[in-house]
Amino acid sequence: MAIDPVEARDWKRLLEDGRGPCVSLFMPAYLSAGDLQQDRVRLRNLLREAGERLLAAGEGEDSLSLLAPARALLEKRAFWKQQARSLAIFSSPGFFRCFRLPIELDERVVVSRRFYLRPLAPLLTTDGRFYVLALSLHQVRLLEGRRGELRRVSLDGVPQSFDEALGYDQYDSSVQSHTSSSSGLGRQPAIFHGHGDDDQERLDKDIVHYFQLVAKGLAGVLEDAQAPLVLASVEEHFPRYRGANQHPRMLDEGIHGSPERLSDHQLHERAWEIVEPHFLSQRDQALARYRELKGLGRASSAMSELVAAADQGRVDVLLLDEKTELWGTYDPAMAELEIHAEPQAGDQDLLDMAAFYTLSRGGTVYTLGTGSVPDGASAAAILRY
């Protein structure tokens, strides 16, 4: 499965407002080779719809050039051989990005003055980002993942092994070594002997120093300080690395055993078992906080308040019904909201607008199953003030 991760720089660009017209296109994708043509036909139809919407919005013939990069994908057979569960395409003047995503998205085309981001909210929450650090004395791997997504992270500036970080030649020449398959040092690890306790103490100190160098290097690589970090290592290294760790969200639970015996896929599966309850717990805690704070005036499910509050940066957590759409207009200057029973010309999905403002102001968005939003509402929010 091919996944194109939505990285921090992508979110920043997608959340920038006022660069319209912005085309947001979503479609589920077939994963079997025999269905490649159906995916291409589906994208062609959605692009035709996007072109019609651009013209209907009064953008003019020139705006159709925004669709050219997406149309080029129709002729790239290799692209269609590497699909995930869905495609998300975003295009605006000077910007084009296509993401193959691990979540299933409904078909949708939106043309607006900003990108339509609500379908991607699960990538930031219950399907959120996490890291796996596979650490041994012989190898360092850093993986970034979500529920159905995994990629290797480049480790520029991070030592790749104990050897690289320190070098065994620093030890006295009388210290001999041999290999053992049962040691905690990883694949064919070195076992040192020669001067007894003094050499073991020196080796222990150097291992700690190696872990400190790894942790220091990772501080410049781990771009999401809120993403949980799962350590995969032999058990004896856990307290050593935990003492060196600089990432604020390293989890207490980890993957025990030599990580060199595990593929990236196996590490991802075991890590997801650890982080999924963590993400679900965060959502459940948000629901509990909402119930607790509503009586104190710090939470609300009134749409007449929520969009303005999100625009003003007052929404800390937004809870959205995953399917409901609410159409209307919002005037930021007057902080006035108008809701329509049916979509009208110039309307926007107000729930997406609330999500957009919340994310761009540093808040969190959780999408919930139908009927799960508090107060039977389509949206609810925990307010910062």
Listed by start position, the domains of the chain span 1-116, 130-278, 295-385
* Nearest Cα residue to 366 out of 1, 118, 48, 9: 118
Angle formed by the axes of helices 8-15 and 350-360, nearest 10°: 130
Q: Which of 10-24, 147-161, 320-334 has the lowest mean pLDDT?
A: 10-24
Please report, for the chain, how many H helices and E strands are present, in that order: 10, 18
Gap between the terminal Cα atoms of the chain: 43
Measured between alpha carbons, how far is residue 3 from residues 71, 82, 91 in Å?
20, 8, 19
User: 149-189, pLDDT tens digit by residue?
Assistant: 788 999 998 999 998 888 654 544 333 333 333 334 433 44
Which tokens belong to 176? Answer: 């001999």
Give pTM, 2 decimals: 0.64
pLDDT, residue 31, reads 57
**For all residues of the chain together, what is the average pLDDT?**
85
Would you identify the CATH topology of the domain 130-278?
Answer: Nucleotidyltransferase; domain 5 (3.30.420)
- Give CATH superfamily name and number for 295-385: Ribosomal protein L30/S12 (3.30.1330.30)
User: 223-257, pLDDT tens digit by residue?
Assistant: 778 789 999 999 999 999 999 999 999 999 999 99
User: Which of 1.10.3470, 3.30.960, 1.10.150, 3.30.420 is the CATH number of 1-116?
Assistant: 3.30.960
Within 8 A by CB and 6+ apart from 262, the residues are 134, 232, 255, 270
Under a CB-based contact definition with an 8 Å cutoff, are residues 131 and 151 in contact? Answer: no
Distance CA 100, CA 366 (A): 21
Q: For residue 21, is the peptide bond before it cis, meaning its omega torsion is within 30 degrees of 0?
A: yes
Q: Which of 240-244, 286-290, 366-370 has the lowest mean pLDDT?
A: 366-370
3-state secondary structure of 127: coil
